[in-house]
Structure 1
């Protein structure tokens, strides 16, 4: 179950629907970076980057990249009117003080209680955990964007994460190419199913048990 650009954009577009006017939002590496391109025109949010941007915009058009303007992952970005810059210490202070309303992160695994594993696969080289640990712990709401299964076809939404954790019980909402699931005290609540998948498909490919919302939505 590979994930093409159209599917990645679909996940990002759904995540953008969670944003509200006035929010400060941090976008992680991977699918989350696409969210900035899908914010509704009537919603104004301020995108925060750990390397010191408050007011980051979407990706620049090809050929219009600024070599001196990138996000924390090193990818080119634009800025919006009113954007400001600071050093990374101040940018992290915003995170640690709980000033970030939503953190949208990629995920390798998420457990039924909202534990997040997103920074390392044992045996593979990685630069480090970066700001993911603090964003996961301190943001007011954490949304995980991810493939529903790994390359072996195994569920990435698990009863218990097998990979090293980034933070415990931090994820509020999971969005995959198959479904939207909310983390509740009773367990994972299936709220939306993405076409062409069915409820049965989502249950089959989800290791963690699922509660089915009475107001379940099918997204065409």
Structure 2
């Protein structure tokens, strides 16, 4: 299958304002365990308070909604119409769907969900043929190229960074994907792609139905992807 990156649209003519939601409704608690402000976007979530996303005055109501409180590299706010179409396509079992509500022009819209995928998709990266730029979080002048033998080598390096307190980002210089191993129509790839890939057939369906609020970009058009 061919794959396409799907992401929230930042085009003003499409969404009106970006992000469309810049705050939660009045009275939303940021301190409770189910708060979006405390969410770990890399593991299964027990409870999530999604009441409610407030759209800005200029924002349009679209099928995919951008918000400062949802990590778009791990989850999407999408309409029930879009959820219905996605249900016909395959996704990893490490997926969760939560009820969400939107406040648009003072009206409460309850026909939205948050789709969250907590599988990081690292198995779809050919580490031995990829190259990354390691950059310090604490000193932007410290950077170096690094290559990993495999997924475990990358995870070992992350654990070493955490234990030593020397935190770094790993940005792709050259990223080779193992798209032939992807058996789903939508996957999250947290490293390099930092978001979601959808199959060509799913992308075509989303476009044909006329859903709004997202952009599609063929993965081979990303300048750091190598074949």
Please tell me the TM-score bracket, short chain as reference.
under 0.3
Give TM-score scaled by structure 2 length: 0.26
Pick the structure with more strand per residue.
Answer: 2
Instruction: Using CA pairs under 8 Å that are at least 6 residues apart, name the structure with larger relative contact order, 1 or 2.
Output: 2
Which structure is larger by alpha-carbon Rg, 1 or 2? Answer: 2
